[in-house]
Homo-oligomer: A and B are copies of this chain.
């Protein structure tokens, strides 16, 4: 077996710790749910992250990495992101899951194209189940229909999420130049970096519009 690229291990470690942290965040957010049915739904979304976490952890072990050691460099940026974007109510929590998972999934889908077949398959498989984003989408949309003022507040909230996410992503890139270089140089070969950001932004804008939010 060829020596795995450190950047691939970094990428899988980032993804793995992201799942663990998302689990923690969503499990806590489930307490904001207005009823048991919705609480169960968000708890189940959280639990699904752990199934994915375990698969990524197994793959890291298979590549000869020690999961804890390779995840540790990413804990601070992801913890800071979640600490800076603590939802104050159910709709902020759902918007965070909807917006954040959407961008993260689009990003990993782009990145997956540069991995070997096995890791590509794994990354595509741990993307979020679409029925969860459909649930979040439906909840946000009907809440905005019932209370149109909510759209302003949640639009601002979504902008804050994206801003904080970008600033932590820049930090990760600065702290992991090899990972950043590999991702960006692969992207640069195939298409161009501006194009990647354009695609991510367009998809995000479309998702916002779908639920009645402004970018």
Contact = CB atoms under 8 A, between A and B. Distances in A.
Q: What does DSSP make chain A's interface, helix, strand, loop or mixed?
A: helix
A46 interface: yes
Interface in A77-128: none
Interface in A9-32: 17, 20, 23-24, 27-28, 30-31
A50 B54 contact: no
Contacts of A168: none
Contacts of A57: 40
A184 to B, nearest CB: 28
B36 A68 contact: yes
Nearest to A51: B47
A50 B53 contact: no
A87 to B, nearest CB: 16
Contact of A20 (B20, B39, B68, B75): B39
Contacts of A147: none
Contacts of A44: 50, 53-54
Contact of A27 (B24, B37, B71, B75): B24
Nearest to A75: B36
Contacts of A35: 68
Interface in A168-195: none
A43 interface: yes
24 contacts: A20-B36, A20-B39, A20-B43, A23-B43, A24-B30, A24-B43, A27-B28, A27-B46, A28-B28, A35-B68, A36-B72, A36-B75, A37-B67, A37-B68, A40-B50, A40-B53, A40-B57, A40-B67, A44-B54, A46-B50, A47-B48, A47-B49, A47-B50, A47-B51
